[in-house]
Structure 1
Amino acid sequence: MSHTVLLINPNTSRPTTDMMVALAQACFQSLQRSDIQVRGLSAPQGPGMLTTQEELEQAAAMAEHPLVLAQVRNADGVIIGAFGDPGLQPLSQSVSIPVIGIGQAAMQQAVQAGSPFGIATTTPQLEQSILNQVRRYGWIEQFSGLRLTPTAPLDLAQAPERQYQELADSVAACIELDGARAVIIGGGPLAQSAQALQNKLAVPVINPIVAACELMAQRLPPT
């Protein structure tokens, strides 16, 4: 018998969903949890990338979409694959299975890895939302600051090498200028860049997809 984890991508980009599912499945394999199988679900409607507060709020409403609820009922756990954790609270309250937001999991892991922690990301219009999120989860005293890439997020999404370099510069600023002892890459679609940056810098670089999978593995008993 195996567990099914539903990874919800709150945007409509199927390639992003596929990338996050592949990364999550590989993470469970590395944890020797072959009993956990990952199924992906893209938002049935909405933006292809969450870059504004309005889009984040729109994505949060997806937690109540009938298509989403139908798939959640057939899962043993749910991962919300956007850093702002849209819909996490209402979905958690409506089901009895583990529901984990990647932002929530990443911050928890970062504090354990070494505080203060910083966040590097690509979405300047979500800056206040991210700061509110850190405060809401109770980590503001352990937070060293947020660093943003200079290029527009949709442009970076089309240029993986440039995205990697700008995120690397932002991570370096978190460490060298803000004193971070762990840095989160703030975004599900940024997971590949986060993977590439791991083990290349002086402090832990937290991949939020991996952090969520590791937390899920703790919450689902082996079969």
Structure 2
Amino acid sequence: MITKQMVDIARGHANPYWEIKSITAPYGSPLITDETSLNVSSKVVLSILKEIDYDIDGVIIAAFGDPGLENAKKFTSIPCVGLSESSMLVASQNGRRFSVATTTPKLKSSIEERANLLGVSNYLASIRITTSDPVLIMSDHVQLIEELRIVIMKCIVEDFADAVIIGGGPLASAAKDLKQFFDIPIIEPIPEAVRYLSRMISDRNK
């Protein structure tokens, strides 16, 4: 269900002539909530890349921790992008201060590491996390929206963020719904990943 939602969102922002295929991890946690499941996902990503048909133009790793992204870029010459990478690069454009609103407290350090690796840590104002259990809240969309809305408001008012990333692939539908409540950019990782991949493919084909 979550994979289908993410693919539908990606299709809505992709070139209409693109064919988008999804591959769900055959093992590991269905929801990445801690460093252990993130590390397992990194291994899964590489194993999938070794088996897929390479008659493709690009890959989006649809998890906010970008599991296996660096190894994927080393393994294949086709463009590979991650959700965290794509959204943080956009959020920090022109020195803009940004925050990340997410549901997984045990992944806070990995998000900080991604910002540091991407060279945007100086622009990261905060990482704010919802209060409910990250697995349980996914089954209550109304509660998810409300808790993220409160967190985003704190990012803006207390942390002076000029943009807020909704940090999670499974939060994609929530990210879309939250934009209506705020005047500042609420950044959706999946559409940003599609746009980033599109630019990379275009540059590669020049």
- TM category, shorter: over 0.9
Shift of residue 114, structure 1, vs aligned partner: 6.5
Are the counterparts in 2 of residues 118 and 184 from structure 1 also a CA contact under 8 Å? yes
**Is 1:19 aligned with 2:5?**
yes
**Is 1:39 aligned with 2:2?**
no
> Deviating runs (4+, > 3 A) in structure 1?
none
> Distance between the aligned counterparts of 2:128 and 2:122, measured in 1?
17
Are the counterparts in 2 of residues 114 and 181 from structure 1 also a CA contact under 8 Å? no
**Is 1:145 aligned with 2:126?**
yes
**Is 1:61 aligned with 2:43?**
yes
Are the counterparts in 1 of residues 100 and 127 from structure 2 also a CA contact under 8 Å? yes
In structure 1, the residue matched to 2:155 is 174
- 2:33 corresponds, among 44, 51, 70, to 51
1:5-53 alpha-carbon deviations (Å, 9 max, x no partner): xxxxxxxxxx11111111000111xxxx222121111001011100010
Segments of 5+ residues of structure 2 without an aligned counterpart are none
Q: 1:212 to 1:165 in 2, by over 3 A?
A: same
**Is 1:135 aligned with 2:116?**
yes
- 2:184 corresponds, among 203, 210, 220, to 203
Secondary structure of residue in 1 paired with 2:165: strand
1:156-183 alpha-carbon deviations (Å, 9 max, x no partner): 1111110011011111110011000000
> Distance between the aligned counterparts of 1:64 and 1:119, measured in 2?
26
Which amino acid in 1 is paired with 2:195?
E
- 2:74 corresponds, among 80, 88, 93, to 93
Are the counterparts in 2 of residues 115 and 181 from structure 1 also a CA contact under 8 Å? yes
In structure 2, the residue matched to 1:187 is 168
Q: Normalized against structure 2, the TM-score is what?
A: 0.94
Shift of residue 112, structure 1, vs aligned partner: 2.1
Are the counterparts in 2 of residues 122 and 149 from structure 1 also a CA contact under 8 Å? yes
Shift of residue 115, structure 1, vs aligned partner: 1.3
Shift of residue 202, structure 1, vs aligned partner: 2.0
In structure 2, the residue matched to 1:118 is 99
Name whichever structure is richer in strand by fraction. 1
> Distance between the aligned counterparts of 2:197 and 2:53, measured in 1?
15
> Distance between the aligned counterparts of 1:194 and 1:108, measured in 2?
17
> Distance between the aligned counterparts of 1:136 and 1:36, measured in 2?
30
Q: 1:72 to 1:108 in 2, by over 3 A?
A: farther
- Identity over aligned pairs, percent: 32
Which amino acid in 2 is paired with 1:139?
V
Which amino acid in 2 is paired with 1:177?
E
Are the counterparts in 2 of residues 111 and 142 from structure 1 also a CA contact under 8 Å? yes
> Distance between the aligned counterparts of 1:153 and 1:190, measured in 2?
11
Shift of residue 72, structure 1, vs aligned partner: 5.4
Are the counterparts in 1 of residues 45 and 68 from structure 2 also a CA contact under 8 Å? yes
Segments of 5+ residues of structure 1 without an aligned counterpart are 1-14
> Distance between the aligned counterparts of 1:163 and 1:113, measured in 2?
31
Shift of residue 204, structure 1, vs aligned partner: 0.1
Secondary structure of residue in 2 paired with 1:220: helix
Are the counterparts in 2 of residues 72 and 78 from structure 1 also a CA contact under 8 Å? no
Secondary structure of residue in 2 paired with 1:42: coil
Count of matched residue pairs: 203
> Distance between the aligned counterparts of 1:176 and 1:47, measured in 2?
35
CA RMSD of aligned residues (A): 1.4
